[in-house]
Amino acid sequence: MARRRIVITGIGGLCCLGTNATDIWRAMRDGTCGISPLAIPDRHDLKTAIAGQIAMLPEHGFDKRRTMAMGRFGLLAALAAGEALGQAGLAADRRPDMRIGAVIGAGVFGGDAIERAYRDVFLEGRKRADIFTVPKAMPSSPAVNVSMVHGLTGPVFGVTSACASGNHAIAAALDLLRLGRADAIVAGGADAPLTYGVVKAWEAMRILARTACRPFSADREGLVLGDGAGALVLETMESAERRGAPILAEVAGAGLSADASDIVAPTVEGPAAAMRDCLADAGLDPADVDYVNAHGTATVGNDRTETRAIRAVFGTHADALSVSSTKSMHAHCLGASSALEAIACIGAIRDGVVPPTVNYGEPDPECDLDVTPNEARRREVNVALSNAFAFGGANAVVAFRAVEKS
């Protein structure tokens, strides 16, 4: 029996580049950097001065009683999912009889809810925390809020694997649909790490940039944190064609691996194994790939290790690849990053434009790929790979392909 082909029929997103997928892709394509001065209340002694912040959330019309029990990353996920479902023709008011689920990744937790609870109890002397602190903060909150807000009764669960969570969610959705456990899945990621406690914890690692995110550049300073959410509607090709839904791209395959090595230092072998497994799952040769959306965090360890892993997998074809890190524009949104980067891959395929790595200053001899410095490039993209590599060596790679209808 032929394996089910899985396609994308809707996308949605919010980050510092915009509050919908169209604006996000336009900003990526134009090389717009959305990183700005950090503006959170009660900064205290934070040294971090910049972040990828969503200036204002769009109107949503969600039930007020529901939003009272919803943390920020749950709200971001529900907004992104609503956009994706609307584009796919699966909004609640015109939804056909389908089994629709949600798999949403989160890199950390609802830090805003935890911080509010600490403030209430320890600073303001209240006797208890908000009654909804736990459901607001739990890592599955984005997934279950997407389900409840949009009435999705198929398989629903959260995924948490640090910075690879979004790609792990997409891979899980791909498997669920191939197995026939659902007709469509909203997959993606959401995180809202811009709170005092979370930023302070990241500062302790000494990997946050002071002035800009500069992936693959010799003058890099480190990563920049950001808020965000991204969502894709995945469904079988048969379902999409039967409904006459827009088909944006195909999820050709996914590859997963673990370094089994160090909690923070990546290896070459783990990411390379995930890329190879992804190509095998998609039935692709290395020479079939046109664009790699790199994990590209702008830390020395990640940038150089990822470069070596790409060269190990692609061999001489590595020099023909277009590579870029869109984190240079939208910051590192942790569990949401790879979901937002899927928007970049889909846009590259549909528009024939590779988004740039902005803020690039000086070549690093150990990052010697074509990283599309500073300006987008016109190029036909039939296959795009999205890399996501997390603390603890949890690696997830997804392949997107231009659609050739059966």
Q: How many CA atoms within 13 Å lie on the side-chain side of 386? A: 33
Q: Is residue 255 a contact partner of residue 394, using CB atoms and an 8 Å limit?
A: no
Cα dihedral value 161, 163, 166, 169, nearest 10: -20
The total of other beta-carbon atoms located within 10 Å of residue 135's CB is 18
Look up 213 and say whether it is catalytic: no
Is 33 annotated in the active site? Answer: no
Q: Do 281 and 253 form a contact (C-beta atoms < 8 A)? A: yes
CA-only gyration radius of the chain, Å:
20
Interacting residues of 213 by C-beta distance below 8 A, sequence separation 6+: 35, 223, 224, 298, 327, 328, 331, 332, 359
Rounded to an integer, what distance in angstroms lies between the CA atom of residue 192 and that of residue 361? 29
Question: Nearest CA to 139 among 342, 331, 336, 274?
Answer: 336
**Active-site position among 295, 333, 345, 367:** 295
Distance CA 353, CA 177 (A): 29
State the DSSP code for 164.
Answer: T
332 noted as active-site residue: yes
Catalytic residue, candidates 16, 163, 213, 278: 163
Question: Residue 284: how many CB atoms within 10 A of its CB?
Answer: 18
Decide if 195 contacts 115 (C-beta within 8 A).
yes
Out of 213, 332, 333, 367, the active site residue is 332
Tokens 């790490």 correspond to what residue?
Answer: 193
Known catalytic residues are 163, 295, 332
